[in-house]
Amino acid sequence: MSEKEKMLMGELYQPWDDELVMERSRARQITHALNQTKNTEEHYRRQLIEDLFGTIAGEMSLEPPFYCDYGYNIHVGDGFFANFNCIFLDICPITVGNRVLIGPNVQLYTALHPMDRETRAKGLESGRPIIIGDDVWIGGGAIINPGVTIGSNVVIGSGTVVTKDLPDNVFAAGSPAKVIRTVE
């Protein structure tokens, strides 16, 4: 099994593998170009994002700067919007539903480092996918940790750190995130 296959399956893998280094370099080149675009270059921006992301289901908007590891593991639905300075560490899939709004400085992390110091010292890492349902609003500065599933119609307060799954129809806030109330 290749290191890329291990990575995509969430198993321990070697991130210094030549194929993965090349793919991260490609993503860095595209994000660099994206981050240099002007507001008047919407068509060019869209082309770069289409080259970077795995799938885009419809209309979407992303405000640079934006950073990711690979890009091809990012899948967004129709009506997706991400504000300035978002970071998506996408060693595993990040799947985002329809009409999702992401505030500035939001960070989505699929990457995990081993708790065992000896394994960690070898430079191995793994990951877990993130899934975000439809009609979600993630407030500025929120952090979504590896393996989290966020239900549909969820509002996440600014600065929230989401460490566990959130059900549909809730407002969550805090560090770690706690369900505050239901939303309609």
The set of catalytic residues is 113
> Tokens representing 7?
């990575």
Q: DSSP secondary structure string, 58-71?
A: S-EEEPSPEEES-S
Q: What are phi and psi of 65, to 5 degrees?
A: -80, 155
Which positions ≥6 away from 46 have C-beta within 8 Å? Answer: none
Residue with tokens 């999702």: 100
C-alpha angle 8-88-24 in degrees, rounded to nearest 5: 60
CB 148 within 8 A of CB 162: yes
Q: Which long-range contacts (CB under 8 A, 24 or more apart) does 158-167 make?
A: 158/103
